[in-house]
Structure 1
Amino acid sequence: MSRQGFTPEHAPLPAGPYSHAVRIGPFVHTAGQVGVDPESRQPREGIEAQTRQALENVRAALAAAGAGMGDVLRVGVYLTRAEDFTAMNAVYREFFGEPHPARSTVYVGLNPGLLVEIDALAVVES
């Protein structure tokens, strides 16, 4: 199977040697998406807005590769502050229905101004 890279139409070019999403057969994996507005290229204000934007960016990366949020099996969430977990989780619920994807949430250091990064693994019908 060949590996295909995808970049959503209005997304900024990747900041390094990676694709926004990669598909091999039925598997689609997104790169970590942050809460940066794709047009202004500035972080949204606050954890709720950054989480919502990060998930919209995940949705766009998946769509570019032919997948949707309903195809997601696993999500990785990376937070800079433990106290943001509840607010992130409330926004996250808006994007995924039951059964919810498997998820890991870890606390990390991100670039200044970034509060959350999210990636996803999806499987789509061939």
Structure 2
Amino acid sequence: MARTLISSGSDFERVAGYSRAVVDGRWVFVSGTTGFDYAAGTIADSVEEQTHQTFRNIAAALEKAGAGLKDVVRIRVYLSESTDFPKVAPILGEYMGEVRPANTTVVCQLVDPRMKVEIEVTARR
């Protein structure tokens, strides 16, 4: 099977030389995704809305790959502030509660100070 590259249309993907997602056989690897609304070019102030938008962005990439959130087997969550975890955890449960993928959450600095959460997933179609 050929490798397929999926783009969200973000200029940053071109500049930084990466794809929003890569499909390799049955596997789909979605890059770290943030809460930017790519169509509007905006990002919400709240970590909660950023997390919801992040899942919308991930779901769109997975759909282009012929997969969905139900196919996620691994999730990595990056938070800029540890105090945001209690706000983000229930939202993770909302999207991943039935799927229950392996999860790692890390607190770290993100590349844009407006970003409060970044999530990457691996799915198997």
TM-score by length of 2: 0.91
Q: Deviations over 1:16-71 (max 9, x none)?
A: 20111101100000011101112221211211000111111111111111110000
Moved over 2 A (4+): none
- Provide the rounded CA distance (Å) in 1 between the counterparts of 2:7 and 2:65: 8
Q: Deviations over 1:57-116 (max 9, x none)?
A: 111111111110000000000000000001111111121232411100001111111000
Question: Counterpart in 1 of 2:122?
Answer: 121
Question: Counterpart in 2 of 1:70?
Answer: 70
Matches within 5 A, 1:82-101: 82-101=82-101
Greater share of strand residues, 1 or 2?
2
Question: Counterpart in 2 of 1:56?
Answer: 56
Matches within 5 A, 1:35-50: 35-50=35-50
- Provide the rounded CA distance (Å) in 2 between the counterparts of 1:40 and 1:118: 20
Tell me the C-alpha RMSD between the 2 structures. Answer: 1.3
**Aligned-partner residue type, residue 121 of structure 2:** A
Q: What stretches of structure 2 of length at least 5 have no aligned partner?
A: none
Give the 3-state SS of the residue equivalent to 1:95 in structure 2.
Answer: helix
Greater share of helix residues, 1 or 2?
2
- Identity across aligned pairs (percent)? 36
Q: What stretches of structure 1 of length at least 5 have no aligned partner?
A: none
